[in-house]
Structure 1
Amino acid sequence: MATSSEIRAELAHPVIDADGHVLEYLPAVEPHLREALGPAAFDRYRSASSPLQRIMEADTEARLATRTPQSAWWGTPAAASDLATAAAPALMHERMDELGLDVAVLYPTKGFGIAGIADDELRAGVCRGFNEFYAATYGPYADRLTVAGVIPMHTPTEALEGLAHCAELGFKVVAFPEGVTREIPEPVLEGGSPFLLPGQRHWFDSFGLDSAYDYDPVWARARELGFAVTFHGGLGHMPTGSFTSVSNYSSNHVGSFAQRMHTLVKSLFMGGVTRRHPDQGFAVLECGVGWAAILLNDLVDHWEKRRPEGLEALDPAGIDWDELEALMRRHAPDLLAAGDDVRAGLATIPGIGVPPAERDEWRHLGASTSGELVDLFAGSFYFGCEADDRTIAYAFSPANHDGFTLRPIFSSDIGHWDAGDPAGVVAEAFELVEDGILTEAQLAELVYENPARLFLDQNPDFFVGTPVADHAATLVDA
C-alpha cells in the first residue's frame, strides 16, 4: 500500500488540511494569559475550576445523580511521536512531507470552551491570551502551518474586537463557536411549551434566525479583513445535543458535530445571512457533509410547499365546510355520531394553529426559484470531512435537487483520537478513490480546490509564501 507521501508525489495538485489540531503545552500558554488578563483576573481564572475538567473527572455515580454526560476519555494518541507532532510546531513542520500535506490549518484543543466562558472579562482575556500564544508559537512556521485565532461571540462588539486583535497578530484564519448559550428573559417554569424542557431557563443562539443580536457587522468585517468564517464545535459552550449518555462517550460523540452544525447552518441560511453576504465563505468543521445534502434537499421540499404560493393550498379559509360535512356523513357517519355539535367536531380535524405575524418564512432568502435557493446554500457553505468519511460522496450525488453539489473540505483531525496515524491520513483519503467512492476529480475538490477557494475568495494572498502559491495563483485568476 502506498504511503501518504508517495500518494502526494503522484497527485497533480496540493493537499490542504483544512482542520488539524494543536495540543497546547499549557505552561507556555499561561504567561500569555497572565499578560492578557492582568494579575487579578488571571488569579481569578486560575482559581476557578474548569467545568470541562469537572465533567471529565466525574465518576459514574456522580454522572448518574446529575445526568452529566460521559465526555471524552483517552482522546489523544499515545504514541510519543504523534503527541509531540501536535504539540511542537517545529516537528509538525518537519513531518509535513511525510504526512503528505502541503499546508495545514490548525485549530485548538485545550482552547475548547474558551469562547463560552460566562464571565465577560475572563472570556475576552482568555481568548486574547490563547491567540497570542498561537501567534507567537506558530508564526515562525507560517509557510506551511497556520493556527486559527478564536473569536468570542457573546455580542457583536466583542467579536469585532476579537477580529481586530487577530488581524493585528497576523492571523490568516479565525474560528467562531457554533453558538452562545443565553438566559431566557422570562422562563415559564411550569406549564410551558412542550418544545422546552420543564423548567428550562436557557436557549442556544446560533447567530442567524431569531438571534438576540444582528451579527451582520461581524460577517462584513471578517470579509474586510480577509477572513473566511470558520466554525468549530466545542469552542464555546457545548449544548447537550446528542450528549445524553452518562456512560458511553462513543454514543455521545457519534453525530454530535453534525447535529450542532445542522442547527447553525439552518439558522444562518434561514436568517438570510448567505443572501446578505453572498461573497463570504462559511465553513463548518469536523461534521461531515452527508447530513448537509439531506438538509438542503429537505429545505427545497419545504420551500416548494410552504413558500407563499404553496400556502394557498393550506389556507383554512379555503375549507368548504359543507362539502367536508357531506363527505364525512357519507364515509364516516359513525364518527359524526360521537358528538352533539357536528360543526364543532369538524373544526377539530384540520391542524390550523395561530399563524405568525409574518407568514412568509422564506422572506430572508428572497429566492423565487428552487435553483436560487440552492445557490444561496451550496455557494456559501463548506463542510469539514475526515479522511475515512464515505458519505463525502453524498455531496456529489445525482439525487440532489437541481443537480447541486456541495463543498466538502479535507480535515485530518491530526492531534485527536479519530485521526489515527497522522502519516496515514492522506492515504486513507485516497482509498475513497481506490474503492470507487470518489473520482480523482472529486478528490481534488476535497483536498485542494474547495479548501483553497474557501480562503482565497476572502484573501487572494492567503497562500503567498507557501508551497501552494503557484497552484493557488491559477485558482485566483480563474
Structure 2
Amino acid sequence: MTEYSRLKTSPSAAIRATLDYPVIDTDVHTNDFTPAFEDYIAKYGGSKLVDELRKAESSRLNSKSNGKDWYQQTPEERQYNRTIRSPWWARVTRNTLDLATYTLPALLYERQAEQGSDYSVLFPNNVLAPAGASPENRQALQRAVNHYHADIYRKYSDRLTPVAGIPMGNPQEAIEELEFAVKTLGLKVANIPGGVKRPIKAIADKYPVDKFPEVARYASYIDFYGLDSEYDYDPFWAKAVELGVPITTHYGSQGWTGRSSISNYMNNHIGHFADGSQAFAKALFFGGVTRRFPQLRVGMLEGGADWGAHVYIHLVDRFSKRNLKALQNYNPDLTNADELFELFERFGGEITEGYSLSKEELTKSVLGSSFSRHSRAPIGSELEDFAAAGIETIEDIRDRWVNSFFFGSESDDRTIAAAFNNKANPLGVKINAIYSSDVGHWDVPDLTSPLAESWDLVKEGVISEDDFKAYVFGNPYKFYTEANANFFKGTAIESKVGNIESPQVDKSLVVV
C-alpha cells in the first residue's frame, strides 16, 4: 500500500518545524467529486439546478463564437471572431497524490502538516460558478454550492474552512446569501466576484439582448460596486462588518483590452489578477467605501502584493498634485495673459511673425484644445476626485488603503519585496502581504513546496525574517481577526497564538 505521509521528506514541514509561530495559508484551491456534488445539488433543488451548474461550468473560462469553442475553430475563424485563448491545463495531474488531495477533504486535512500549514482557507474551484447561471436560478444554485462545501468540510474545521461564494448581481441577493452562509452554514469568509458585467443601457435599449445577443456580448461595462454603480452596495458592506466577515476575491481580467490574445494564454494571464483586483480596490477607495466602513477587511488574492504598494505610492503622488488646492496650478482662469503676451513679444521671434493676436486669443491658442474641447469647465464637486474617499492628508490615504486591503502573494513571488519596502512606501509603511500558496492550481505542482519556496526569499535576501513572519502569520491573522475577533476560536491556531492580540475596531462605527 502506498504511504501517503511524506512528512519526513517534506521541505515545507522542515521549515515549519523551525518556526515558533503558526502558518496560515489564505488560498488553497480544491476540487469537488462531481457525482457526489451533483447528487447533492439535485437533492437540494432538483435537476434544473444541476443543469444550470453544468451549463455555467461549461461556459466558464471557455470562449466561444457561433457556438464553437477555440479548439473547434480554424485559425482563420479565431482571427475573424477574435476568439481569445482561454486557460488550458490549469490543474495538477501528474502528481496523483496531490490531485486526490485537492478532491478528498480527509486527505487534505491529513496532509496539512506536510504542507507546512496550521490552518488553510479553502476556495473550491467552482465556488462562484453560479455567477454564470440564469438570474432566476443563480441565488438558489449559489446557496446549494455553499451548503455542500460547508457540509463536507465541517468535521475538519479546526484546520480547514471553505469560503462562501456570494453572488453580487444586486445588494439584496448578496446580503441574503451572506446571512445564510454565516448564520445557518457557519461559514466565516466570503468570496465575491470583483465586478459584475452589466449592459450599457443606451445600447441595450436599442439592441435588445434577445434579438441581438452578439451586440450584448460586447456592449457592456463592469460594475466594481464602489464607484459609479447603479446600485447602492453600502448595505452589503455594512452587513459584512456586522457579521464579522472578511471579504475576498480572485478577480481576473483575461479578455480585457491588452489581455485578449487569440493564440497565447500566458499573454492573457500574466498580471491579470493584479489588474482586475486593482480596478476593484480603486473603486472601493475612490467611492468612499473604505472611508465609510473602516472596519471592512478586503483580501485580493493571486495578484501578488507589489501592485498594492504601486497603487498606494501613486495615490499619494497624484493627491499631492491634484488635491483641490494643488489643482489651481492647472486652472486656465489663472493664466496671466499679460505676462504671457509679454513673453511672446520678447521671445516669439519667427514663430509668431505674421500673426496678430489679442491677449485673449493668444492665451486660448497656447492653452490649446485640451482646455477648449469640452462644452464647459468642471465646477464644484466635479473638481474633487478624492472627495468621496474623504482624503485631506496622505495619512488618510494610508488609513483607507493600507489598513483596509490585504494582498495575496504566492510563495515564489519575488515582487513581494515591494510590499515590504518601507523606504519606498510613503509614511514608512509596509503593505499587508498575506501568504496565499495557490495550492491546487498549475503554479503549485507539489503542495509540499510553497512554504519552503517562501523561506527561500529570506535566504536570498528578498525579504527579512520579520517580513516572512508577517507574511505567513501576522498579516493573515490580522486580516481575519480584525474582521472577527473570534475567527480562530476552536481552531488549531487558537492554542498557538498565546497572548497575541489583534487590534479591534468599534463595529458600530460608520463614518459618514
Q: Tell me if TM exceeds 0.5.
A: yes
Which secondary structure does the structure 2 equivalent of 1:390 belong to? coil
Q: 2:39 aligns with which of 18, 23, 31?
A: 31
The reply on whether 1:77 has 2:92 as its aligned counterpart is yes
The reply on whether 1:288 has 2:304 as its aligned counterpart is yes
Q: Deviations over 1:422-460 (max 9, x none)?
A: 101110010011111111111010000111111111222
Specify the alignment match of 1:355 in structure 2: 378
Q: Give the superposition deviation at 1:307.
A: 1.1
**CA distance in 2 between partners of 1:426 and 1:213 (Å):** 41
The AA in structure 2 aligned to 1:244 is S
**CA distance in 2 between partners of 1:73 and 1:411 (Å):** 22
The reply on whether 1:176 has 2:192 as its aligned counterpart is yes
The AA in structure 2 aligned to 1:226 is G
**CA distance in 1 between partners of 2:14 and 2:186 (Å):** 33
Specify the alignment match of 1:469 in structure 2: 494
Q: 2:70 aligns with which of 58, 76, 80?
A: 58
Q: Give the superposition deviation at 1:44.
A: 5.4
Q: Deviations over 1:265-290 (max 9, x none)?
A: 11111111111111111111111111
Q: Deviations over 1:120-165 (max 9, x none)?
A: 1222122112111211111111111111010000100010011012
Rate the CA distance shift 1:139–1:337 in 2: closer, same or farther, 3 A.
farther
Rate the CA distance shift 1:134–1:348 in 2: closer, same or farther, 3 A.
farther
Q: Give the superposition deviation at 1:338.
A: 7.2
Rate the CA distance shift 1:338–1:204 in 2: closer, same or farther, 3 A.
farther
Question: Which region of structure 1 is more displaced relative to structure 2, 297-306 or 325-334?
Answer: 325-334
Which secondary structure does the structure 2 equivalent of 1:73 belong to? coil
Question: Which region of structure 1 is more displaced relative to structure 2, 19-28 or 155-164?
Answer: 19-28
Specify the alignment match of 1:377 in structure 2: 401
**CA distance in 1 between partners of 2:264 and 2:362 (Å):** 48
The reply on whether 1:227 has 2:242 as its aligned counterpart is no
The AA in structure 1 aligned to 2:38 is E
Specify the alignment match of 1:366 in structure 2: 390
Which secondary structure does the structure 2 equivalent of 1:417 belong to? coil
**CA distance in 2 between partners of 1:134 and 1:182 (Å):** 29
The answer as to whether partners of 2:128 and 2:165 remain within 8 angstroms in 1 is: no
The reply on whether 1:306 has 2:308 as its aligned counterpart is no
Specify the alignment match of 1:193 in structure 2: none
Counterparts of residues 49-448 of structure 1 (less than 5 Å): 50-52=58-60, 54-55=62-63, 57-59=69-71, 61=75, 62-78=77-93, 79-117=95-133, 119-167=134-182, 168-187=184-203, 201-233=219-251, 240-337=256-353, 341=357, 343-344=360-361, 346-350=363-367, 351-352=370-371, 353=374, 354-355=377-378, 358=381, 359-397=383-421, 398-448=423-473
Which secondary structure does the structure 2 equivalent of 1:107 belong to? strand
**CA distance in 2 between partners of 1:11 and 1:242 (Å):** 43
Rate the CA distance shift 1:66–1:317 in 2: closer, same or farther, 3 A.
same
**CA distance in 2 between partners of 1:63 and 1:474 (Å):** 60
**CA distance in 2 between partners of 1:165 and 1:172 (Å):** 11
Q: Give the superposition deviation at 1:36.
A: 4.3
**CA distance in 2 between partners of 1:344 and 1:447 (Å):** 63
Rate the CA distance shift 1:65–1:368 in 2: closer, same or farther, 3 A.
same
Specify the alignment match of 1:8 in structure 2: 16
Which secondary structure does the structure 1 equivalent of 2:483 belong to? coil
**CA distance in 1 between partners of 2:352 and 2:404 (Å):** 53
Q: Give the superposition deviation at 1:72.
A: 1.3
**CA distance in 1 between partners of 2:400 and 2:459 (Å):** 33
Q: Scaled by the length of structure 2, what TM-score is found?
A: 0.86
Q: Give the superposition deviation at 1:345.
A: 5.4
Question: Which region of structure 1 is more displaced relative to structure 2, 22-31 or 217-226?
Answer: 22-31
**CA distance in 2 between partners of 1:135 and 1:460 (Å):** 21
Q: Give the superposition deviation at 1:39.
A: 4.0
Q: Give the superposition deviation at 1:356.
A: 5.5
| CA RMSD after TM alignment | 2.6
The AA in structure 2 aligned to 1:364 is A
Which secondary structure does the structure 2 equivalent of 1:382 belong to? strand
Rate the CA distance shift 1:43–1:426 in 2: closer, same or farther, 3 A.
closer
Specify the alignment match of 1:194 in structure 2: none
The answer as to whether partners of 2:255 and 2:268 remain within 8 angstroms in 1 is: no
The answer as to whether partners of 1:21 and 1:86 remain within 8 angstroms in 2 is: yes
The answer as to whether partners of 1:242 and 1:256 remain within 8 angstroms in 2 is: no
Q: 1:451 aligns with which of 471, 476, 494?
A: 476
Q: Give the superposition deviation at 1:221.
A: 0.6
Which secondary structure does the structure 2 equivalent of 1:431 belong to? helix
Percent identity for Structure 1 against Structure 2: 36
**CA distance in 2 between partners of 1:362 and 1:148 (Å):** 33
**CA distance in 1 between partners of 2:444 and 2:187 (Å):** 25
**CA distance in 1 between partners of 2:171 and 2:203 (Å):** 25
The answer as to whether partners of 2:22 and 2:117 remain within 8 angstroms in 1 is: yes
**CA distance in 2 between partners of 1:127 and 1:108 (Å):** 12
Q: Give the superposition deviation at 1:26.
A: 2.1
Q: Give the superposition deviation at 1:40.
A: 4.1
- The gaps in structure 2 that reach 5 residues or longer are 1-8, 207-214, 504-512
The AA in structure 1 aligned to 2:58 is S
Q: Scaled by the length of structure 1, what TM-score is found?
A: 0.91
The answer as to whether partners of 1:179 and 1:207 remain within 8 angstroms in 2 is: yes
Rate the CA distance shift 1:47–1:232 in 2: closer, same or farther, 3 A.
closer
Q: Give the superposition deviation at 1:2.
A: 7.7
